[in-house]
Structure 1
C-alpha cells in the first residue's frame, strides 16, 4: 500500500466537524505537510500553532482558489453544506485542483448516489462524482453512510413521546460514526492510489425496530417504532416544523433504507483506518447523556 505521509495534503472544510477530525487523524498518523482549508482561518489558529498550514479557501470566492490549491499533491474534498449550490462549489474545487496540478482527490459522497429526481440530496453527490471521474484526476470516492450522530438530533423528544417514526418496510441502515468516517478519509488520503468508489459503513445495518429497542433499553422508557407511508411521514415532519424540502430529503433517505441501499456493510473503515468501526449500540451507550434531551 502506498504511503503519502510526506506529500502536501489539503483538507477542505477543515473547521467543520468531519474536516477537523480528518486533520487530527492525519497528524496522529505522521503526515508532515498538512494543509487545512477554511473560509475562516482564525478558527484554526490552534492547528496553525501545531504546524498545520492554514489557508483561506472559499468555494464561492474564485479568488481564493489558486492560492489555496497551490503546491497540493492530494486533496480531501469534504462535501459542502451548500444544499442546492454544492455541485457548483464542488465543480469549482475540482477545476481549481486540476489547474494546480493536484494528483488525487478523495471525495466524501453519499450511498447510492444517482441522478433520480426522487433521490433527495443524492443527485448533488452523483454529479460531483461524474465531474471528478471526468476530470482526469485520480480519485477515491467515499460514500459515507448516515452518521450515527444524526440519531441524537431530537432523540429526547422521541424518548419522551415513546414513538420513533419511520417508513414501512425499513431494512436497516449501517450507521457510521463521524469519527470513523473522518479516520477513513484521512487513511484514504494517505494511502489510496487507485480510482475507486467505496461505501463507508458501520459494522451492521440497524432497523427502526432495533433502534427503538436500543433507545428503550438505554433510557428505561418504552419506545416503539411506528411505520408510516412516505406521504404520512413527510406530513408529520412538516407539521413538526421541518421545511418541506428538507422533509422530502429525509423521506428520500428512508426510502433508500426500505430499498436496501443503506444496509450495505463493508470493510472500508477498517481497511483505511486500521480499526473496526464502532457499533451503533456502543455509540448510543457512549452518548447516553444525550438521550435525556
Structure 2
C-alpha cells in the first residue's frame, strides 16, 4: 500500500489537496503533517492520520515522515526565511525513507525572474534534485483567488493601478492547484516538472474588463513604475517589504515570466482549469 503525505496540511492549499486526494485513495493511505494537529480534527475523524511536524524541528519531521512513500511539500509562507526549513524537510524525508518528493514552486524559477519568491523556490528545487530522491515540481502560477480583491477594488474606484505594463499572467485557482497536486501525488515515480496554470494568460486590460462588469461602467488602467507602485502600497498601509514583494510580481509579469499557459491541469486531472471569470462570478452576490 502506497502512503501519501502532505505538509502544511492545515493551510488552504493543504486542505483542498487533502479533499482532492480523498477522492483518489483510501483514508488509511493519507498522512497529514501540520504544526497544529488539533486544527485537522475533522480529517482525523474521517480516519486520516494527522501528525505533528515543524519545519524548524528536524526530529519532528523525521517522525512525521516515517512510513510515507510519496510526500508533497507545500512551500511555507515565510518568503526569504524558509529555505533552511525546506532543506530540513528534504533531509528528514530522505532519512525517513520517502521515495518521491513533490514541491509547490513558481513559474520560471531562474535568476532572470525578478519575482521576490524565486530565490527560495529555485534553491529548494535544487536541494530536492541533489537529495537523490524522485521529484515532481508543481510550478503554480499566481492564484486567481488572490486577484478577486484587486478586481473588486478597481470596480469600486474605477481605476486599476498596476506596474505589470502589457504583461500577461496565467492565473490559476487554488482549487485547480490542489486537484493537480493530488493527481501528481498518485502518479507513478519518475521525475517531472509541471507548469500549473489557468486556461489563458490575462492582461491588466482583461482584469479591468472584469472589474467593469462589476461596476457597470469602464475601469481605467493606470500604469505606474515599480517604485510608484511600492510607494502607493506603503501609503495604503502595507509594510515596505510586502509592498516590494507584491511589486516584484508585477515586474515579473511585465517582463513575460508569468505568461506561460500549459495543459498540465487537464493532463493530470482530466478536467480543464477554471477561468478567473468563473471564480469571480462565484463570489458575487446573486
Band the TM-score falls in, shorter-chain normalisation? over 0.9
Q: 2:284 aligns with which of 282, 288, 293?
A: 288
Number of equivalenced pairs: 285
For residues 30 and 117 of structure 1, the distance between their equivalents in structure 2, rounded to whole angstroms, comes to: 37
Q: What RMSD, in angstroms, separates the aligned Cα atoms of the two structures?
A: 1.7
Q: 1:168 to 1:116 in 2, by over 3 A?
A: closer
Q: 1:43 aligns with which of 39, 42, 66?
A: 39
Q: Deviations over 1:217-259 (max 9, x none)?
A: 1332432211111121111111111111111111111111111
TM-score under structure 2 normalisation?
0.95
Q: Deviations over 1:7-31 (max 9, x none)?
A: 1100001110000111111111134
For residues 222 and 91 of structure 1, the distance between their equivalents in structure 2, rounded to whole angstroms, comes to: 48
For residues 212 and 62 of structure 1, the distance between their equivalents in structure 2, rounded to whole angstroms, comes to: 46
TM-score under structure 1 normalisation?
0.93
What residue ranges of structure 1 are gaps of 5+ in the alignment? 1-5
Q: Equivalent residue for 1:72?
A: 68
CA apart distance, 1:215: 1.3
Q: 1:27 aligns with which of 11, 15, 22?
A: 22
Q: Equivalent residue for 2:233?
A: 237
Q: 1:197 to 1:117 in 2, by over 3 A?
A: closer
Q: Equivalent residue for 2:55?
A: 59
Matches within 5 A, 1:204-283: 204-283=200-279
Q: Equivalent residue for 1:88?
A: 84
Matches within 5 A, 1:166-177: 166-167=162-163, 169-177=165-173
For residues 188 and 282 of structure 2, the distance between their equivalents in structure 1, rounded to whole angstroms, comes to: 31
For residues 187 and 117 of structure 1, the distance between their equivalents in structure 2, rounded to whole angstroms, comes to: 28
Deviation larger for 239-248 or 36-45: 239-248
For residues 237 and 85 of structure 1, the distance between their equivalents in structure 2, rounded to whole angstroms, comes to: 22
Q: Equivalent residue for 1:18?
A: 13
Which secondary structure does the structure 1 equivalent of 2:278 belong to?
A: helix
Which secondary structure does the structure 2 equivalent of 1:262 belong to?
A: coil
For residues 206 and 225 of structure 2, the distance between their equivalents in structure 1, rounded to whole angstroms, comes to: 19
What residue ranges of structure 2 are gaps of 5+ in the alignment? none
Q: Post-superposition, which runs of at least 4 consecutive aligned residues in structure 1 deviate over 6 A? A: none
CA apart distance, 1:153: 3.0
For residues 190 and 252 of structure 2, the distance between their equivalents in structure 1, rounded to whole angstroms, comes to: 28
Q: 1:58 to 1:211 in 2, by over 3 A?
A: same
Q: Is the 8 A contact 2:70 2:98 kept in 1?
A: yes
